[in-house]
């Protein structure tokens, strides 16, 4: 568990730096201007995903919470979407319409961090689920 507490935020930090600067470089090279701050969007996803995964590591050790953790994860995805829409409403939705490159630039961090977060949550569920089964069977 101690290793996961260090590994998870470090992974999301590295993912943030590599993906943001690569994305920003490609946008600059192609000359695409965004009506929103790309760094803040990447930072939102990195922080939210990191905190979420750390909480899942901690809460997965509690049996009552562990049984419901997949439903809690679904609820956090809805919460993440609502928070994102609330925080970034003005720069994203106040515009008349986003061009395709702008919309794709908005979705890239979402899918990148969501897939990484889902990978870690599945890994947490599988690891702790196997431990729970072994404990119940007395192995």
Give me the DSSP letters along 31-42: T---SS-HHHHH
Q: Which two tokens stand for residue 33?
A: 């201007």
Q: Would you say residue 109 lies in a domain? A: yes
**80 lies in a domain?**
yes
pLDDT the model gives residue 131: 58
With respect to residue 123, please indicate whether it lies within any of the assigned structural domains.
Answer: yes
At residue 130, the pLDDT reads 54
Residue 19 vs residues 9, 69, 97, 114, 139: alpha-carbon distances, Å: 15, 29, 25, 13, 43
Answer whether 42's CB lies under 8 Å from 19's CB.
Answer: yes
- Number of structural domains (the chain) is 1
- Please state whether the predicted TM-score (pTM) of the whole model is above 0.95: no
Which domain range does residue 127 map to? 2-13+41-132
Q: What is the pLDDT of residue 98?
A: 81
Residue 18 falls within a domain, yes or no? no
Query: 119 in a domain, yes or no?
Result: yes
Q: So what's the pLDDT on residue 94?
A: 72
What pLDDT shows up at residue 64?
80
Backbone angles phi, psi at 35, to 5 degrees: -85, 5
pLDDT per 10-residue tile (average), the chain, 139 residues: 85 96 96 91 96 89 81 92 89 77 92 94 79 56
Is residue 29 one of the residues assigned to a domain?
A: no
């Amino acid at each position: 568990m101690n290793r996961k507490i260090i590994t998870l935020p470090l992974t999301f930090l590295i993912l943030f730096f590599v993906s943001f600067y690569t994305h920003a470089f490609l946008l600059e090279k192609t000359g695409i201007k965004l009506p929103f701050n790309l760094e803040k969007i990447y930072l939102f996803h990195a922080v939210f995903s990191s905190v979420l995964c750390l909480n899942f590591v901690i809460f997965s050790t509690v049996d009552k919470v562990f049984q419901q953790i997949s439903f809690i994860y679904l609820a956090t995805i809805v919460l993440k979407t609502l928070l994102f829409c609330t925080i970034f409403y003005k720069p994203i939705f106040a515009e008349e319409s986003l061009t395709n490159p702008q919309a794709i630039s908005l979705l890239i961090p979402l899918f990148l961090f969501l897939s990484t977060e889902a990978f870690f949550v599945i890994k947490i569920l599988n690891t702790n689920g196997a431990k729970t089964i072994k404990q119940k069977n007395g192995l």
